Amino acid sequence: MKIIISGTVDIDPEKMSAAMAAGRPLIDGALTQDGCLDYDWCPDPTTEGRIRVFERWASQEALSNHFNNHWYTDMRDAIGSFGLRAADVLKYKVELEEPVYDETGTPRADFLTEKKDD
């Protein structure tokens, strides 16, 4: 079972560039951890001072190891130093994943491999 973390972190808008520069080596470090599939923080194009968070982890164990690693604690401490105003970050268990597009190139909202109720 994979885990996705997604959400937003709001900081002082004037400090966005400095926050992203400080976060870059920490993001790069997190990406080296076992079980880290994606780790991305980027400025939200529609809300000043908002950082969009997206992470994918191969397992709960990998995420737990991340939370006990300096890449996580250093990022937490760094982002807090840039005027943390709010955070809304959630984790999701992924039990089924499929491509968005089917073999004809059509985007699908349904899951083709899920058993259909009759």
Look up the CATH number of the domain holding residue 11.
3.30.70.100
Whose tokens are 């599939």? That residue is 37
Strand partners, 90: 6
User: 12: which residues sit within 8 A by CB, 6+ positions away?
Assistant: 49, 82, 83, 85
Q: Determine, yes or no, domain membership for 87.
A: yes
Range of the domain at 45: 2-94
DSSP letter for 13, please.
G
Q: Determine, yes or no, domain membership for 39.
A: yes
Q: Determine, yes or no, domain membership for 49.
A: yes
Quote the percentage of the chain above a pLDDT of 90.
92
Q: How far apart are CA 79 and CA 53, in angstroms?
A: 12
**pLDDT at residue 116 above 70?**
no
Q: How far apart are CA 109 and CA 101, in angstroms?
A: 9
**Could you tell me the pLDDT band of residue 113, with boundaries at 50, 70 and 90?**
confident
pLDDT at 56: 98
pLDDT at 112: 79
Please list the alpha-helical segments (H only) found in 31-107.
60-67, 70-80
Q: Determine, yes or no, domain membership for 115.
A: no
